[in-house]
Chain A
Amino acid sequence: KAGVTQTPRYLIKTRGQQVTLSCSPISGHRSVSWYQQTPGQGLQFLFEYFSETQRNKGNFPGRFSGRQFSNSRSEMNVSTLELGDSALYLCASSALQQNTEAFFGQGTRLTVV
């Protein structure tokens, strides 16, 4: 069974640009969550989708958005990139709606210059 797949693995963008990251969950998993990992703030929850609906959102500005498709694949978008958005963006998938193991992908390393 394939794990969580995130693309691309690495990305370099310029301030002011926008970026879209993709996540394919484990087959059969309907919940997809996104996290940002930085040396300064650690791992922080961005948002979670279940059956194409955003169920929870972390404390991030509106420049961070996401969506989930009918096949459970998810994308997150960051608009008007800032230097501080440089981070490892991680996607996790879960089989159930709540309180179940979340399996992480390798992440997308975003560098904003």
Chain B
Amino acid sequence: GESVGLHLPTLSVQEGDNSIINCAYSNSASDYFIWYKQESGKGPQFIIDIRSNMDKRQGQRVTVLLNKTVKHLSLQIAATQPGDSAVYFCAENEAGANNLFFGTGTRLTVIP
């Protein structure tokens, strides 16, 4: 049968505003989480990671928050720039493994 494309959540923000991208994960055994950015025609690019013994981690202009109680992950991008326009994926990793399970992704569009 004909495959239906995934409906990607979208987020549009004005240049200079902060962006928040959310992700729900499902596996309680996951203990490592990564956010990736994927631009058209490219492979996913590592942004930031967090381990399950933390609830917040900051990088350059990015912050990841982890709420294990409700199995929720978020990525905050400060002062969003046009170059931040891309699809963002969260990924969870089971303990003791290197196999990532990806969310469906969120398309971020930055309006100049």
**Which A residues form the contact surface with B (CB < 8 A)?**
4, 31, 33, 35, 38-45, 48, 50, 55-56, 58, 84, 90, 92, 94, 96-107
Contact = CB atoms under 8 A, between A and B. Distances in A.
Interface stretch (B1-9, B15-23, B57-65, B70-78): B1-9
A45 B102 CA distance: 9
Interface residues of B, number: 30
A74 to B, nearest CB: 13
Given A31-B98, A43-B89, A55-B97, A101 B43 contact: no
Nearest to B51: A99
Contact of A48 (B36, B42, B99): B99
B99 A58 contact: yes
Given A94-B98, A104-B43, 19 more contacts: A35-B100, A39-B6, A41-B3, A42-B103, A45-B100, A56-B99, A90-B43, A96-B98, A98-B32, A98-B93, A99-B32, A99-B95, A101-B49, A102-B34, A102-B46, A105-B43, A106-B43, A107-B42, A107-B43
Contacts of A94: 98
Contact of A43 (B5, B45, B102): B102
15 contacts: A33-B100, A40-B4, A44-B102, A45-B100, A45-B101, A55-B98, A90-B44, A92-B100, A97-B98, A98-B97, A100-B32, A102-B34, A105-B43, A106-B43, A107-B43
A89 B1 CA distance: 22
Interface of B: 3-6, 31-32, 34, 36, 41-46, 49, 51, 89, 91, 93, 95-105
Residue of B4, B43, B49, B95 most packed against chain A (CB within 10 A): B43
A99 B93 contact: yes
